[in-house]
Amino acid sequence: MSLLSEIRVGITSIGSGIGQSVIDSCRLSSLPIKTFGYGMNPFAFGACDCDVQRSLPSIYSEDYIEKLLDCCTEDNLDILIPGHDDELLLLADNIHKFNTIGIYIPVPDRAVIELCRDKVLMSRILSKIAPVFVKSYSKKALMDAAKRGEVAYPLIAKPISGFASKGLLIITGVDELALVTDDHVIQELAMPGVADNNHSIFVAALEKGQIEQVSELSLQVVLGKTGQEIGRFASFNKLKNGIPIEIVPANVPEAWNAVDSFLPYLQRHGLRGPINIQGRMTSQGVRFFEMNARFTGITGLRALMGFNEVETIIADSVNLLGNGFRLSQHKRKIGIRQVCNRVVDVETTLDLASATECTGVYPWRKSGRTILVTGANSFLGRAVLSALISKHGVDRVIAVVRNPSRFDRSADACLPSGVELIDKKELLNGCFSMGNVDVICHLASARPQHSNADLADSLKYTQFLTACSMKYQIPGFINASSQSVYGTTCAPLWTEESPPAPETPYAIAKWCSELMAANISQAYNCSKVTSLRIARLIGPNTILKRDELLQKYIDSAMRGDYIEVFGGLQQLDLIDVRDAAELIAVLATSPYEKWPVTMNVGNGSPITVASLARIVIRMAKKNGAIKPTIKTYPNYKAPSFGMDISKASTIFGWRPAHTLEHTLQDMIDLLKSTATQTNQSKR
C-alpha cells in the first residue's frame, strides 16, 4: 500500500478561536497534512501551530480575496478552511475562483449562510418546517407584536454584530422595550426545563438581570462536499463569557429528531461542511436559538474526544472517505477548558520579530541564545563548548556534566572561559530553571562499548530532557545521534532519507533517542528538533582513547611498530571533532525554520581502512617514526560506513574544514607533546 501524498490545508483568520480549533484538529490528525496559517496578527496563538505562516490584510480589506487567492495559489492548497464568521459570505460569493484552481472550501451557499446570520429569518422560515425555534424579532416587529399583546417575557436582546455574551439585554416587561435599538435582534428566552439541574441557578441569575450560560445544547452536524451527512455530535455546555468551559456528551433523541426534520431543507439549499445548532431543552421541549455554518471554538476539543470533524472534511475533500462513512461520538470523555499558555522565540518568524520590536517596549532585539549542553566534558562536548562560546548570536553557554572535576586546569581540558558549569544532579533535582534555555544541545550518551544498563540509563536521561523541552516549550533541541542507526543492510553513501535499520543495542538506543526527540515538535510546532547522525569522530584528544582504531594506528606507527589491518577494503567515515562541533554551533544559532529533522554529520568522502593505514604510515615517517609497517589480514570481513552530507552543505553552507592529514598531524603533535611531558615528570 503506497503512502498518501501530502494534503495542503490553509486556515484563514488563524488568530481566532475557530482558527485555533481547526489547527488543533489538524495536529491531532494522522493524515499527512501540511498546514498554512493565514492572518494579519503575527502574535496569533494558532499561527505558531501551523507549518507555514502567512501575513494577509484584514478580512474587511477590499483586496482580501485577491491576496488570499495569491497565497492559496502559491501554496498549492487542496482545501481552505475559514476561521471567522464574517468571511463566510465573502468566500461563498467567490468560491468559484478557488474551485477553478482546485481548492475546496467547506462553506455552504449564500442562502444557508444568510439564514444562519439572520435569526429573524431563521425563525420565520424554519419554524414552518419544525416548531422548535424560539420566536425572533427585529425592533419594529417586536413593537408591533407588543401592541398586539403577542409577546411573552422575558426576552433577550443581542447586538446583531455582537459575539459571545457581550451586550446582552434582558427584557422582562413592556417598560424595558425602550432599551431595544435597531442594532438588536430580540428572541424569546430558552430557559432550562424544571427537571434540569441548572434550572434554579438559571432562574436565580435571571432575577438579578443576568444570564447564566448553563445547559446550552450544542449540536454539530458535518456534511461532505456533496452535502451528504458524515457525522453528528451532541453536548451540553456550560459557558463563561460566551466561551464553553464544560462540555458533556449528550444523548438527545428529541433534539436530533427536530434537526432531521429541517436538515433536508438546508441540504437542498446548498449546505456543505459543518453546521452548529444551539439551543436548550426547555419544559416545552427542545428550543433552538442559533445556527452557525462553520466549525466552532470547541471543534478541537471534540477532536480530542474522538470526533475529528476537520480531519473528516479534509479526507472527504480529497476522496479518502469510504462509502457510508460516519464519524462516531465517544461517550466516556468530557471536555474541560481553560486558558492555555504558550511561549515562542521572538524570532520564530520575521513578522513576529518586527511586531515585537514595534511594541516599543522590547529592548532585547539583538540578544543571543542561551544554550545548554549535556555531556559537556566528553570529546565532542568540549569541542562544542569552544565553538559555541565564540559564536555570534550566543549569550550564554551552560555545560551540564556528571563529573565536574573532569574539567582540570590544563589548557586543553579546562572549561572554556565564559561557560557556566552545573552538575547533572542539579538539573535532575530541579535546581536549574529550564525556562531560561533557548536550545538544548544533548550530547550525553553511553558509548557502544558500555553495558545495556548504561544505555538504558542514557535513554532515561534523554526522556527527562525531551519532557523538559515539552513542558517549558523550549524552541530548539539538538540530539546527537549516530550513523549506526542506518545499519549495514544498505550500502553507503546513506542520505537522511535512507531507512533506519539499527543492528546493535547502541544503534537501537540512538534510534530511540531520535524518536523521543521527534515527539517535541509533534507536541509544539514552534519547538524545532534536529537529530544529528554523526560519523566516527577523530582529532586531538587530551583524554587519549587507546582503543580507538585511528589512535591505535598512530600509536603503533609512531613507535615504529606495525599497524594491523583487518580486511582493508571496508570504508570508514571519519570527521574531525572540531568540524562536527562547528556544524553544531552553526545549527544552534541558525533560524529555527532552517532546522532539518535529521542531518548527517560526516566527512562526505569515506576512506578504506587500507588507505587510512597507508596515510598514517606516511605521516608517522614524516614525524620521525622509524620504519613503521602494515600487517594485513585480508580474509577479515567488516561493514562499510559513509554518509552523504549534501543537506548540511546546502542548508548551512558547511563542509569539513580539516583534511585527514591535518587532523593526523594534530593528533601526532599531541601524542608527542604528551610523551614529552610524561618524560619530564619522570625526571
Predicted local distance difference test score (pLDDT) of residue 413: 56
pLDDT of residue 409: 45
Statement to judge: residues 629 and 497 lie in one domain: yes
Mean pLDDT of 437-444: 96
> What are the tens digits of pLDDT across the range 665-677?
999 998 888 876 6
Residue 612: phi and psi, rounded to 5, are -60, -45
Tell me the C-alpha distance between 70 and 74, whole Å: 6
In one-letter notation, the amino acid at residue 336 is: I
**Number of domains observed in the structure of the chain:** 3
Q: How far apart are CA 291 and CA 419, in angstroms?
A: 60
CATH number at 64 reads 3.40.50.20
Residue 621, in any domain of the structure: yes
Asked if the structure places residue 165 within a domain, the reply is no
Q: Is residue 360 situated within a structural domain? A: no
What is the Cα–Cα distance from 540 to 666, expressed in whole angstroms?
Answer: 6
Give the pLDDT confidence score for residue 507 in this predicted structure. 96
Half-sphere exposure at residue 27, Cβ-oriented, CA atoms within 13 angstroms:
24
Task: Tell me what percent of the residues of the chain surpass a pLDDT of 70.
Answer: 95
- The mean per-residue pLDDT over the stretch 297-319 comes to 94
Residue 491: phi, psi to the nearest 5?
Answer: -75, 140
Q: Are strands 136-137 and 184-188 parallel, antiparallel or unpaired?
A: antiparallel
Contacts of 244 (CB under 8 A, 6+ apart): 216, 218, 237, 238, 297, 298, 301, 335, 337
Residue 425 lies in a domain: yes
**Distance between CA atoms of residues 248 and 336, nearest Å:** 9
For residue 116, tell me if it sits in a domain: yes
> Cell match 615517517: residue?
621
Peptide bond into 274 cis (omega under 30): no
Selection from 113, 124, 66, 126 nearest residue 87 by Cα: 113
d(CA 126, CA 337): 33
**Cβ-contact 227, 268 below 8 angstroms:** no
- Give pLDDT, residue 331: 84
Each residue of 540-574: pLDDT tens digit? 987 656 678 899 999 999 999 999 999 999 999 99
Q: Do 381 and 502 lie in a common domain?
A: yes
State whether 580 and 460 are in the same domain: yes
pLDDT at 414 > cutoff 50: yes
204-226, pLDDT tens digit by residue?
Answer: 998 888 889 999 999 999 999 99
3-state helix, strand, coil in the chain (%, to 5): 40, 20, 40
> Are residues 612 and 554 part of one domain?
yes
Residue with cell 447564566: 212
Banded model confidence at residue 410, pLDDT cuts 50, 70, 90: very low
φ/ψ region of 36 (left if φ > 0, alpha if ψ in -120 to 50, else beta) reads: beta
Q: Contact 368/397 with Cβ under 8 angstroms?
A: no
Q: What is the pTM of this model?
A: 0.84
| Phi-psi label, residue 383: left if phi above 0, alpha if psi -120 to 50, beta otherwise | alpha
Q: In this structure, are 115 and 129 located in the same domain?
A: yes
Q: What is the C-alpha to C-alpha distance for residues 121 and 110, in angstroms, rounded to an integer?
A: 14
- Closest by Cα among 666, 538, 564 to 617: 564
Assigned domain for 356 exists: no
Position 160 pLDDT exceeds 80: no
Residue pLDDT, tens place only, 25-76 = 999 998 999 999 999 999 999 998 999 999 999 999 999 999 999 999 999 9
330 and 465 inside one domain? no
Question: Do 473 and 343 touch, CB atoms closer than 8 A?
Answer: yes
pLDDT band (50, 70, 90) for residue 350: confident
Task: Give tens-digit pLDDT for 496-548.
Answer: 999 999 999 999 999 999 999 999 999 888 899 999 999 999 999 876 566 78
Give pLDDT, residue 683: 56
Residues 482, 586, single domain; the answer is yes
Domain that holds residue 264: 111-134+190-336
- Residue 490 forms part of a structural domain: yes
Q: Quick check: 121 and 291 in contact, CB under 8 A?
A: no
C-alpha angle 564-568-573 in degrees, rounded to nearest 5: 105
The residue to which cell 583487518 is assigned: 566
Q: How far apart are CA 81 and CA 305, in angstroms?
A: 21
pLDDT at residue number 164: 45
Query: Looking at the structure, do residues 101 and 117 belong to the same domain, yes or no?
Result: no
Q: Of 371, 204, 219, which Cα lies nearest the Cα of 281?
A: 219
Same domain, 89 and 125: no
Same domain for 469 and 451: yes
| Cell numbers for 256 | 436530533
User: Exposed, middle or buried by CB within 10 Å (0-12, 13-18, 19+), for 480?
Assistant: buried
Same domain, 314 and 391: no
Q: What letter represents residue 391's amino acid?
A: K
The mean of the pLDDT values for the chain is: 91
Same domain, 454 and 536: yes
The CATH code of the domain that includes 486 is 3.40.50.720
DSSP 8-state secondary structure symbol assigned to residue 327: B
pLDDT digit string (tens) for 650-659?
A: 999 999 999 9
Q: What integer is the mean pLDDT of 89-113?
A: 96
Residue 473 lies in a domain: yes
Partners of 238 in the β-ladder: 246
